[in-house]
Amino acid sequence: MSSHDPRCFACGGPFHPASGNHFAEGVDYCGRCYRYFLAYFKDRMRVRRKGRADFYTEAATSIRPPA
pLDDT in tens, 3-59: 567 899 999 999 998 999 998 888 899 999 999 999 998 888 776 656 666 777 777
**Side chain identity, residue 12:** G
pTM of the model: 0.59
| Cα(60)–Cα(26) distance, integer angstroms | 46
26 Ramachandran zone, left/alpha/beta (phi>0; psi -120 to 50): left
